[in-house]
A and B are shown apart, each in its own frame.
Chain A
């Protein structure tokens, strides 16, 4: 079974600084997708970024980028120029190649200090 591990229950960052959230996963599949979702206090789940395992290039979305290390099964999220609105719970998630089902990590609560 696939597992997703987020080893940092909480992280904090100063506004305008950079922070990296860690995620590792375990799978025997070769074709899969990885996601980072953000859940602010409103509890709405918002997609931050998506990575296809067959792509070597790291995905980027404006201030958000990932460091995808397939051999190490690592998928960290880097947030640059942190803003107060980035404060939220961040979930790393895995989806197998033939399946829609998402496996979530336990989440990392990010605090942004002004």
Chain B
């Protein structure tokens, strides 16, 4: 069964809406989780590293105020896309690992469509 749960799997909403995506590690505690964005037929692009109890680390070019990350517990990280616009439409995936060098376990992804 899935060890990382991501919800929701699909969101369709109007421009200007804020959307929250949850990522939960089910079988282990994760002090670090990752958020990726994937465009069609492309690789995963790391957006940010979510750190439990501290600020997220964003990759270059990713707007912190647009993509808010909260990692309030050892099993939950959330990504909020604020005031979403059509260009934010994409596939977002989270991952977590039980330890350094251990494989990342991925959520099933969230397909976000902004109208």
Contacts and interface: CB of A to CB of B under 8 A. Distances in A.
Contacts of B108: 42-44
A102 B104 contact: yes
B43 to A, nearest CB: 5
Interface string B15-53: 000000000000000001010001001111010010000
B51 to A, nearest CB: 11
Contacts of B38: 43
B109 A102 contact: no
B44 A101 contact: no
Interface residues of B, number: 21
Interface in A57-73: none
Interface of B: 32, 34, 38, 41-44, 46, 49, 91, 93, 95, 97, 100-101, 103-106, 108-109
Given A33-B101, A42-B108, A101-B49, 20 more contacts: A35-B103, A37-B106, A43-B38, A43-B91, A43-B93, A43-B108, A43-B109, A45-B93, A45-B95, A45-B104, A91-B44, A95-B100, A97-B100, A97-B101, A99-B100, A101-B34, A102-B46, A102-B104, A104-B43, A107-B43
